[in-house]
């Protein structure tokens, strides 16, 4: 629990934004591609941000495995995704594709929420 508490303190107090990233950007890094098309704030390096994403992915996997070993339920069920026309009406639908980036963000958010219970 100390590790998670430390993670919460760092994420809550010390983190600052170096770039605006979408799930697709994080997934590209996880897949071994770069952040070539992302604007990075001055004072930061693309390689450092890519490395941070990879480290977070590794931590998220460990946290997820630990949660399931402790009895967490997997509630992954298919979700629908809708494409809207120019009037905002549904024009098409399909299954929402969950990526490793989705899992990474969800796990970090769950960990932070868990830590806030203890603070």
**Domains identified in the chain, total number:** 1
Q: Is the pLDDT of residue 16 over 60?
A: yes
Q: Is the pLDDT of residue 115 over 80?
A: no
Q: Is the pLDDT of residue 3 over 60?
A: no
Give the integer Cα–Cα distance in Å for 54 and 98: 18
Give the predicted TM-score (pTM) of the model.
0.70
Q: Is the pLDDT of residue 110 over 60?
A: yes
pLDDT in tens, 55-103: 989 988 998 888 888 887 776 777 888 899 999 999 999 988 888 998 8
Torsion of the alpha carbons at 52, 46, 37 and 98, rounded to the nearest 10: -10
Tell me which residue of 107, 18, 110 sits closest to 64, measured CA to CA: 107
Q: Write out the DSSP string of 46-75.
A: HHHHHHHHHHHHHHHHHHHHHHHHTT----
Containing structural domain, residue 84: 2-116
């Amino acid at each position: 629990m100390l590790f998670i508490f430390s993670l919460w303190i760092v994420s809550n107090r010390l983190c600052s934004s170096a770039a605006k990233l979408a799930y697709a950007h994080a997934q590209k890094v996880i897949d071994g591609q770069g952040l070539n098309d992302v604007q990075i704030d001055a004072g930061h390096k693309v390689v450092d941000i890519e490395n941070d994403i990879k480290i977070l992915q590794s931590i998220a996997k460990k946290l997820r495995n630990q949660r399931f070993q402790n009895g967490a339920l997997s509630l992954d069920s298919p979700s629908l995704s809708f494409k809207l026309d120019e009037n905002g009406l549904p024009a098409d639908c399909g299954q929402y594709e969950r990526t490793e980036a989705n899992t990474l963000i969800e796990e970090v958010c769950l960990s932070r929420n868990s830590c806030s219970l203890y603070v």
